[in-house]
Every structure is written in structure tokens, then in C-alpha cells.
Structure 1
Amino acid sequence: MTTAAPAILLTPGPLTTRLETRQAMLRDWGSRDEAFIALTAEMRRRLLALAGGGDSHAAVPLQGSGTFIVEATIATLVGPADHLLVLVNGAYGERIAAIARRLGRRVDVLTWEEDQPVSPASVDRALAENPAITHVALVHCETTTGLLNPLAEIAALTSRHGKALLVDAMSSFGALPIDLKAHPVAAVMASSNKCLEGVPGLGFALIERRTLAAAKGNCPSLSLDLHDQWQGFETNGQWRFTPPVQVVAALVAALRQLEAEGDPPARLRRYRANFDTLAAGMAEMGFRLFLDAAVQAPIIATFHSPAEPWFRFDGFYRALAGRGFLIYPGKLSRADSFRIGCIGAIEPADFQRLLEAIAAIVDEMKTA
């Protein structure tokens, strides 16, 4: 009996991982054992180092997906008397606002079109007009489209206004530059299964220690309270509740591989080579990118679906899956589209093979 080769995941996560990452999950760990406590400490230390967190921030991991850590961070840091401004130009900014409303927090939203970056001038004006705002939330790379928002500029102006900036860096952390020494950010939220190339099941926040200390009692949830989670790590190095031990082991293996690759700058170069290969080849076949090059991050590419009657996404998806490539449907509110991820343990050669498959599928669809 033969086994089919595993599919290449061209998605924003879960994504294709290295063999060493998967092998790290073959061992069982005691969650209170000294070896696992040391593994958790290494993970937290490496995560902080990637963003220059140093002594100013603490890494607080949490079981669950990226959305879990976003909800936990908002619930912990945005108190009942606080006022959150959410900067929205995609589905994940909208999700932050929805989470804050569900928590009963006071929320305002500034909205841009899905192909437009957040405007620092508009944010500056909103903060000047409403001094009651205490926190601002920004999605660094909006996974809806692959759009890159101006983190450095937003961090500078929120600091000038005395507001705490919360950054959803799910699809940027580990590749795109994030420097907590250079840019004042109260919290950066990300997960194990995107640019870090780990497996799903763990989110984390890098939070200013003084901000965490002041957040005691804010969170209405027991399991999502990042202040108490942090205190547990600071006290004995242990998780408060059963940790995803194999996911932690896989993430540490992936973080070691990231260092061996050359840290985020080297990973970004590989992802950019992936994106450039994909974009050039798709353009030759007549596919149009949704975003302007000036705001496109090399994380995920959103393409307009061809308007011609021969194109049906479901058939396109199934044909690609049959050839070993899994992509994502579009997530735009106003245009038919599909998305192809450029991250994970994949190389430009994989995208050359993808392009050959797409060319063959397009020919088949046109002549069907």
C-alpha cells in the first residue's frame, strides 16, 4: 500500500512544517517536570528576544489559537473603565472589535477599505478629538489580504498621546520587523503556527511588565487571565492549567530552526522570494493581485478571481488539492478572490511547481 505525499499548505496557518518540528512532538512530557519547565523558559526567552523585549516585556503563552490570546489580552489589559479604539481594514480588526464588545468593553472603530492601510493622520486626529481613549488595537499584517499596516508610525503617535498600543502580529511575528526597543508597544500578540513555523495550539503575548502588573483583577475569565498566567510563570515556571506539551516542544524546535536560518531577516528573505516567484508567475497567466505593491506583505497573496465563466473556485481548489497544494478561499467583503500563502517550510522551487500545476489546471478549465 502506498501513501500519498503530504500536501503543501499554502495558507496563512496551519502551514507546512519541517520534519524536525514534527519529530519534536514524539516525546511525552510531564507538565510539572523540571525538563518541561526549562523548555517553557527557553520558549519564553526566545520569543522575547525575537522582538527585543529584554527586561521591559514578559512573554505570556496561553493554550489555544491566536484568537484565544487576542481575547485574553483584551480581557486582561482593557479594564471595565477603559476605552478601546480598534483600527480596522480587514476581518481580523473586525474580530478584535467583536471580542471587546462581547467582553462589555467600551469600543470605538476607525475603518478603512480592505486595500487601504491604516492612516496615521486619521488615528492622530481621532486620539486628539477623544482623550477618553485609553487603548488602541492594530493588526500589523491583515491576514484577510496580506496588507501591511504602518506599525512604527502608529506606535509613535499612540505613545505621544499616552495610549497603550495592542498589536495583533499573528501573521507577521517571526518574519516582519518588530522592535520593542524602538517602538513603544504595550502588547504584541501572535501564535505558534504562522511565521514561527510551529504547529497550532499555542498563542502568546509579549506584554510590558508594568502594564501586566497594573492589570490585576481586570479579566472576567479565570483561564484567560494573563496577569495570573504571568504570575504563575514568575513564581515557579509552571503553567496554571494543563499545557499543550507537544506543541511547546514543537515551537521550541521551530524557534531553534529560526535562529539557525538567520533569525527573522533571513526568514523574511525566503518568504519574499516565495512571494516574488508566485506574483510573477501568476501575472504571466493573467491573475491580478488585490493589493498595491506598496502595502503588500510577502506573507499571503490575495488574487482577484477571474470573471470569466470558465473559472469556479471550488473546481480550482479541488484540482490543486489533487496535485498536492492546498490554498485558501478569499475573505474579502466586496470582491471574489482567493488567497495563497507564502509562509511555512517552503521554498521558491515549491512555488515553481505550484505555478506549473495552476497553468495546467487553467488550461483544463478553459477547455472543459
Structure 2
Amino acid sequence: MRYILLNPGPVSLSEGVRRAAVATDLCHREPEYFDLQDRVVQGLGSLYATSAPDWRPVLLSGSGTSALEAMVASLVPREGRLLVLENGVYGERLSRLAGIHGIEHDAIAHDWVAGWDLERVKEALDGGGYSHVAAVHHETTTGRLNPVADLASLCAANGAALLLDAVSSFGAEALPFDAPALVACAATANKCLHGIPGACLVMLRESALKDTVEPPRSLTLDLGLWAEHQSRRSTPFTPPVNSLLALDRAVEELLESGGWRVRRARYQRLAAAVARTLDELGVQPYIDPAESSCVLRSYSLPRGRDYASIHQALKRHGFVVYAGQGDLSAKMFRVSTMGDISDYDLARLLAALSDVFG
């Protein structure tokens, strides 16, 4: 049975991406590999039209968290001070990364279900002393889409550079690339881009490259090193060749389909259909749908039902949903609409939901 993955990455793949991943064997020191690397960089750079000409994608090996760690460790200077916004697992992870690398930082912590308190953020930034702010765009803990454009404006007013976790939004949600405060955002191949795990990236202003930390805090996660090699058709370490083969095709499919706006509309339609069906079955959203991303929504566990039984019942129909995290595991479950999900798959999913919750 082919399972349709309704978890927030990795995603169900198109046949084209699946074939591309194993289409050929490439040595990463041959010109054919660097042609591939150049195509992927060019394709990723064309996904979002920006008013700033100096944005560039820097490819790395690893998960989305690798991109986050590279971004934070490479761009916050040793004398810098970081403010982290937390309202879920992944905001808290940014604080953990800063602590591991000895970066002076403070956090504005929120309940995992809550939106950002921008007044608290403004007060902290008005107090001065922060060179950088790090925050999550789409917090998949609950599916909340945080208001990053508003945050970017607060950062600009206080001279702070914004580092954005766009791991679960890049390729499907609007990103404020024209905001002067935004200097970098982290992303991954295996979420909204519909690639396979193994490759990640940081979208980076060229002007930020001159400010990367020296000496670097990490060898394999030094953005400056990866960027310098890629600019001269090289790679500092063995790259995830098969993941880049898949990503090359995935980006091509995204552009052929009409780009990120069309993908967002598709996700929204799928998510709305799931939400309507669950509402008819008495399953309520865990947070306001208007505050949720197009990528993932969270739903309250019905009274008397537990996640494990729901998960297993849906898996028997060929669908994999996702549990809540931490204390939320006993309160909610999550459904993502990323990946290669056809209208036929959607019809089967709605029937499965009716069977499991009806």
C-alpha cells in the first residue's frame, strides 16, 4: 500500500521526483554535478520575486534544523545579542541552538497555543541591545502562521536583523523578502518544495555574507564556506547528491505548476475540504483556522478518542496523520496537506475521515 503522508514532512512524492532521485549516479567533483548544483540554486532563487537583487540560496547537507543551526551560528556575531520568539517546539529549538553555540540571547516565551504578543516584542526591542531576532514563520507545533511581516517592521524600527525559520513555509507561504530587516531564512527540501530529505538551504542576502562569524563556530555548518564554494562551482564536503537530483525536479514541477502562490491555493483548498468534513463529524480545530498556515492544521481530539487509535484507523485506510507534541499529545492531532496529494487521494481521505470519526 502507498501511504499518503499527512505529516509536516517528509511528504508524499510525485513519480517524477521519485524517479529523479535515482535517475543517475553522479560524482560530486564532476562538472555534471556542478551543473545540477547551479540549476538548483537558480531555481530556488527564482521562486520568490523580491525587490532586493542580492538574495541567494546557499545549499547545505542535512535537515531543516541543520539550516537553522547554520543560519544562527554563522550570522549572529560573537559580540551580538539575540532575541528569540517562542510559541512552540521550534521557537524553543532556536533558543537551544543559540545556547549550544554560546550566543548571548533572551527569549520571549508564549504558551504554545498563543500568538505572538507584539507589544512585549516591541518593549524588548525598544530597550535596545539586540543585534538579531530569530523567529519561526510557520510553527508546526500547532499549525500557527506567525505574523512575520509585522515582526520585520519592528526589527527595522530598532535596527535588529531578522533570522527566520521558514522550514515549513518556504515554497507555499508569502515571505517578506522585501523587508529591510530580513537577512536570512532557513528552509528544507522535503516540505513545501516536495523533495526528499537530505538537502536544506538558507536564503541569504549577499550583503550578509561579509558579516559571517570568523573564526566560524562550526566547520560543516559555516554558511560562508558553503557559499564561497558554490559561487565557484565547488562544494566543501560531499553533498546530498540524490536529494539534489530530486530537488531539481521538484523545483521544476513547482515552477511549471505556477509557483508558490498556486501551491498555496492548492494547499488551502485541500485543508478547507478536510476542515469541512471534520466539522461535519464534530471534530473541531484546535486553533483558529484564520491564524493557521495553508500547510498544516491542528484538531482537537474528540471526547473519548485517543490519538493512537485514530492514527491506526486512518493508517489502515492508507493515510498517516501526526500527533500533538509534548502536553498537546493528549489534546490534539495534526493534518498536513503538503506533498503530491491528488483529487482522488483527497476523496479517499474524506471518506476515510467519515469512516473513522462517523
TM-score scaled to structure 2, two decimals? 0.95
- The amino acid of 1:344's aligned partner reads G
Taking structure 1 as reference, are residues 155 and 145 closer, same or farther at Cα in structure 2, changes over 3 Å only?
Answer: same
Q: Which amino acid aligns with 1:360?
A: D
State whether structure 2 residue 135 is matched by structure 1 residue 138: yes
CA distance in 1, matches of 2:345, 2:246: 23
Give structure 1 stretches of 5+ with no counterpart. 364-368
Which of 140, 145, 150 is the aligned partner of 1:148?
145
The amino acid across from 1:284 in the alignment is E
Aligned position for 1:46: 43
Tell me the number of residue pairs that the alignment of Structure 1 and Structure 2 aligns.
355
Counterparts of 1:183 and 1:263, CA distance in 2 = 24
Distance in 2 of aligned mates of 1:245 and 1:34? 13
Structure 1 stretches of at least 4 aligned residues deviating more than 4 Å after TM superposition? none
Contact 1:136–1:165 under 8 Å retained in 2:
yes
Aligned residues of 2:148 and 2:176 also touching (Cα < 8 A): no
The answer to whether the Cα contact below 8 Å between 1:115 and 1:291 also exists between their aligned partners in 2 is: yes
Paired-residue identity, %: 33
Residue 307 (structure 2) aligned to one of 313, 319, 344:
313
After the TM superposition, which of the residue ranges 169-178 and 212-221 deviates more from structure 2?
A: 212-221
Are the counterparts in 2 of residues 11 and 327 from structure 1 also a CA contact under 8 Å? yes
Quote the Cα distance in structure 2 between the aligned partners of 1:362 and 1:124. 44
> What is the CA-CA distance between 1:72 and the residue it aligns to?
1.1
Cα distance in 1 for residues equivalent to 2:113 and 2:219 = 38
2:245 pairs with 1:249: yes
Which of 52, 64, 82 is residue 66 of structure 1 equivalent to?
64
Deviations 1:299-346 (A, max 9, x none): 1111111222xx232122112112111111112535521111111111
Equivalent residue in structure 2 for 1:325, among 307, 319, 323: 319
Q: Secondary structure at the match of 1:358?
A: helix
Task: Tell me, in whole angstroms, the C-alpha distance in 2 between the residues paired with 1:216 and 1:128.
Answer: 26
| Residues 176 and 182, structure 2, Cα contact 8 Å, conserved in 1 | no
The amino acid that maps onto 1:65 is S
Aligned with residue 264 of structure 1, among 260, 265, 286 = 260
* 97, 121, 124: which one aligns with 1:123: 121
Kindly indicate whether the alpha-carbon contact (under 8 Å) linking 1:85 and 1:135 is maintained by their aligned counterparts in 2.
Answer: yes
CA distance in structure 1 between the aligned counterparts of 2:340 and 2:60, rounded to whole angstroms: 24
Flag structure 2 segments of 5+ consecutive residues without an equivalent.
none
Question: Partner of 1:29 in structure 2?
Answer: 26
Q: Which residue of 2 aligns with 1:103?
A: 101
Amino acid at match of 2:319: F
Q: Which amino acid counterpart does residue 351 of structure 1 have in structure 2?
A: L
Amino acid at match of 1:271: Y
CA deviation after TM superposition for structure 1 residue 57, in Å: 2.1
1:262-305 Cα distance to aligned partner (Å, 9 max, x none): 00110011000000000000011111111112211121111111
What is the SS of the residue equivalent to 1:50? coil
Please report the TM-score for the alignment, with normalisation by the length of structure 1.
Answer: 0.93
Q: Secondary structure at the match of 2:340?
A: coil
1:80 is displaced (CA, Å) by: 2.2
Superposed CA deviations along residues 228-267 of structure 1, whole A, max 9, x for unmatched, are 1111112x21211001111001001000000111001100
Question: Shift in Å at residue 183 of structure 1?
Answer: 5.3
CA contact (8 A) 1:192 1:199 kept: yes
**Cα distance in 2 between the residues matched to 1:357 and 1:183:** 46
User: Which residue of structure 2 aligns with residue 304 of structure 1?
Assistant: 300
Work out whether 1:288 is the aligned partner of 2:312.
Answer: no
Name the CA distance, whole Å, in 1 between partners of 2:16 and 2:180: 34
Q: Does 1:175 align with 2:172?
A: yes
Matched to 1:225, the amino acid is D
- Greater shift, 168-177 or 299-308, is seen at 299-308
* Contact 1:277/1:348 (<8 A) preserved: no
| SS at 1:94 equivalent | helix
For 2:25, the aligned partner's letter is D
**8 Å CA contact retained: 2:159, 2:181:** no
Instruction: Give SS of 2:202's match.
Output: strand
Aligned-partner residue type, residue 144 of structure 2: L
Query: Is the CA contact 2:277–2:353 (under 8 Å) kept in the aligned structure 1?
Result: no
Q: Distance in 2 between matches of 1:348 and 1:283?
A: 20
Q: Distance in 2 between matches of 1:163 and 1:184?
A: 7
